[in-house]
Structure 1
Amino acid sequence: MQEIRYELLLLGHDSPMNGQIVDTLFAQLDLLGVDKELLKIVKAEAFSFDGKDDHPQIALYHSGPDMLDGEILEKVIKNAKVILPIFKDGEDFNKVIPKVLHEINGIKVSSQNDIPSIVNHILEGFGFLRASRRLFISYRQNESRGVAVQLFEKLSLAGFDVFLDTHSIPKGDVFQDELWHRLVDTDVVVLLNTLDFLGSEWTRSELARASAMSIGILQLTWPDHVPERDAQISVALPLAKRDFVRSRYLGVSATLKNERIANIVRQTELLRARTLSARQTNIITEFVKFSSRVGKVATLQKERFMTMENSQGREIVVIPTIGVPNAFSYHQSEDLIRVIRTSQVEKIYLLYDHLNIRMKWLEHLAWLDKFLPVVSVRVSDMEDWFNKI
């Protein structure tokens, strides 16, 4: 099977951020269990184009007064590769970024806190992280409503799809079903750990279910309180009185200072990669163990998908999927295999855990399976699936 080679192009003006971006990227690849040898860092002077466009490639373009690397940009754009224009806070985007990139939504940076976000965009572009960036805010309305709404707004501006019960459930929808459905499809739970957080049955259930599904939990622990220890993957971020506006941390109107919010956004980005890796690893481990029990050999590839032979001796590919599969998941999986597949690859399967996914969505997945070359498989249905392939 052909090995994927990922390329990160560093274009535009030389930036001190590049070294930090690359170091953080390699650290996150370690967390995700991806072989770092698969990634090649290419600077403009070393760029060469051999006419092939069958490998994943992402370019970073750093802003500056001169419009650099125009010929390379044209080739990258022609081959439909991802380009991330990066410009500094206070700069006029149209004056520091080449015109050919003006239609692309650029990334504005103001400090090192923005580096994890850039790295996650790269990982998403390569398919190592899913493109959906979903968060779930767990809180007590009568204790921390002001901070919850503040985080909902700030994290949404940072590019996350944030679930907040008072803002995210459509009128007339079944509240509890939608809440659990959104929890299973989230990347990180931002838990506002106030003094009586566990005094509610809802918040106790949210914490228990998130931990059971290996969802990462960022605990913002209020002053004079201690972190909860029940979560499997949890990062505690203690809050001090000085982190709150006018040092007022009690009551529904309390809010956090902007500098503390910026740090929370950064910690959320870092935890996101770790929790997605853990959830994917859980699915992979369960599949490999089960395949061994039934006498099959499942081989985990460096790119974090599995290959094995069906009963006819033909190769099939199984891709572990986190959260709720959707049409984009199907398309991404087919596109990935198109890059690496040989003529012997017969079928592509998405493996997912269906627990807490709403019935109407499971019915939609069954409908998609009838029309698309990529087929979904529930973890709980593995025994029947192995008997059929």
Structure 2
Amino acid sequence: MKHYYQLIFMGAIEHSWLPQIKDKFFEKIDELGNDRAFFKIIERNDFKEYTDANPAFCIYMGQRTDTSFLDEDIVNKLVKDATLLLPLIDEDLSQFNQLVPEVIQKYNGLSLLGLPKDLAIEKIVSNALEAFNLLKTKRRAFVSYKRSDSSGVAIQLYEYLEQHNFDVFLDTHSIRKSESFQDELLQRMIDSDVVVLLSTENYLESEWTQKELSEANLASIGLVQIVWPEYTVIQGAQLSEVFKLEASDFINHDFRNVNAKLNEDSLLKIVQFTEALRARTLASRQDKLISTFMHYAEKSKVTATLSSHKFIELEKDGEKSVVVPAIGMPKALNCEESQTLVKSIYAEDLDKIYILYDEIHIRDIWVRHLNWLNKHLPVKTKEIGKVSEWLAV
């Protein structure tokens, strides 16, 4: 399989809790309706299989050593790759720096001392699921299609992806009558993790579908091209992977009918293919946002540390803040969720909480809305294009 999620275990990997952490993780994966084949467990002996092109989350079990820290070279590489990492220790947090490599000593680690095992394992696994963005509200797909060509399959995919815990956008099902159709459609695309494009004979004859393709390219959103039999791949889709259909994928081999339907096996393969591409492109978009911020912070000599929760811990002008990178457009609900989540993780008070987003592909009307929210909510948003100026002040 080309794309997958990587759950990495380093440090004292013989710790008695690790098998139960793995079991609980895959139990949750099953509950979410994800295929276990999309997940690879990596430890030091098979670290050669690790790739920075796929989403990764590392659990590091700290341990006292006489000389150097366990797997220190690997940890240094993971930090350099902006891989999310959760340090665990079996002692009091006052001993943290004596148990983990220097490069992660500023990370927000977790002490297992005194914690009920079930509660601790649940917390660790939830951390990994958050890092992979596998919770339903964060797994967004957009179906782009030509109504007169493929309405039957579009509705099928909408229903099937929903069953597999995607939050799916389909124009006929997802826009309220009172909404501005064009504005809402394009904004929902920008908010999506992946676009499922039904490549049929007349797809590019529609102004709407051309616009959707263009916007997806500009925003670097991954495209799954589902190509009908006898038709060719649409050129010009940048982050695109192709899933070719055969007549046998359709019920009664009928693929020319607007109401044609795919068989069950083909639907499942498309869902798996969609999840695989989502894994790669979402990681790429997140890494770009985080690495750009970290570059600006280093240039401005501001202390910034990437935590295991995918937050950036920031120390600036004597204030301690947390920056939460967001893919797509932040909304009031994101602000509330971020504040609740951040405060549940950090015991000490924080001076500020920010949500970081890429404003380039977000429509002006929504940017104005975010500016209005900044005046009324304690959590503030920051545009990545203005971070350099903000940190330099």
TM-score normalised by L of structure 1: 0.68
User: Pairwise mapping of residues 64-83 of structure 1 onto structure 2 (< 5 A)?
Assistant: 76=119, 81=122
**Retained in 2: the 8 A contact 1:288–1:298?**
yes
- Superposition deviation, residue 136 in structure 1: 0.7
Give, in whole Å, the separation in 2 of the partners of 1:328 and 1:29: 34
CA contact (8 A) 1:26 1:36 kept: no
Residue aligning to 1:386: 391
Change (3 A) 1:235 1:251: same
Structure 1's 371 and 206: CA in aligned 2 closer, same or farther, altered over 3 A?
A: same
1:300 and 1:82 mapped to 2: Cα distance? Answer: 19
Compute the displacement of 1:282 (Å): 1.8
Asked if 1:140 is matched to 2:146, the reply is yes
Q: Where does residue 23 of structure 2 map in the other structure? A: 10
Aligned partners of 1:190, 1:251: CA distance in 2, in Å? 19
Once the two structures are TM-superposed, the CA of residue 29 in structure 1 deviates from its matched residue by 9.6
The residue identity in structure 1 corresponding to 2:321 is I
Cα drift, residue 228 of structure 1: 2.9
Who is 2:98 aligned against? none
2-structure distance, mates of 1:22, 1:39: 23
Q: Which amino acid aligns with 2:141?
A: L
Alignment of 1:327-342 (within 5 A): 327-338=332-343, 341=346
Q: How many residues align?
A: 315
User: Which of 156, 160, 181 lines up with 1:150 in the alignment?
Assistant: 156
Q: Contact (CA 8 Å) 1:349, 1:377: kept in 2 or not?
A: yes
CA distance in 1, matches of 2:385, 2:356: 10
> What's the counterpart of residue 171 of structure 2?
165
Q: Tell me the residue number matched to 1:24.
A: 39
Select 1:281's aligned residue among 278, 287, 311: 287
Match of 1:186 in 2: 192
Instruction: Please give the per-residue CA displacement for 1:329-373, whole angstroms capped at 9, x wherever unaligned.
Output: 334433554465475853221101234545565455445434544
Amino acid across the alignment from 1:34: F
- Per the TM alignment, residue 196 of structure 1 is displaced from its structure 2 partner at its CA by 2.9
Matched AA of 2:55: L
Provide structure 1 residue ranges, at least 5 long, that are not aligned to the other structure.
42-47, 54-71, 84-118
Deviation at 1:290?
A: 3.4
Q: Does 1:251 align with 2:257?
A: yes
Which of 35, 44, 47 aligns to 2:58? It is 35
Query: Equivalent residue of 2:39, what SS?
Result: helix
Distance 1:126 1:196 in 2: 39
SS in 2 for 1:227: coil
Contact kept? 2:194, 2:274, Cα under 8 Å: yes
For the structure 1 residues 348 and 156, does the alpha-carbon distance in structure 2 shift closer, same or farther, using more than 3 Å as the test?
Answer: same
Secondary structure of the equivalent of 2:324?
Answer: strand
Q: Any conservation in 1 of the 2:156–2:261 contact (CA below 8 Å)?
A: yes
Counterpart-to-counterpart distance in 2, 1:188 and 1:216: 5
Q: Which moved more, 1:152-161 or 1:334-343?
A: 334-343
Give the whole-Å Cα distance in 1 for the aligned partners of 2:132 and 2:335. Answer: 12
Closer/same/farther in 2, CA of residues 138 and 249 from structure 1, 3 Å limit? same
TM-score, structure 2 as length reference: 0.67
C-alpha distance 123-254 of structure 1, shift in aligned 2 (>3 A): farther
**Matching of residue 241 in structure 1 with residue 247 in structure 2:** yes
Residue matched to 2:91 = none
Aligned pairs (5 A) from 1:284-295: 284-295=290-301
Residues 131 and 309 in structure 2, CA contact (< 8 A), matched pair in contact too: no
Matched position secondary structure for 1:35: strand
Q: Secondary structure at the match of 1:377?
A: strand
Query: Are 1:317 and 2:322 counterparts?
Result: yes
Paired with 2:331 and 2:287, the residues of 1 have a C-alpha distance of: 20
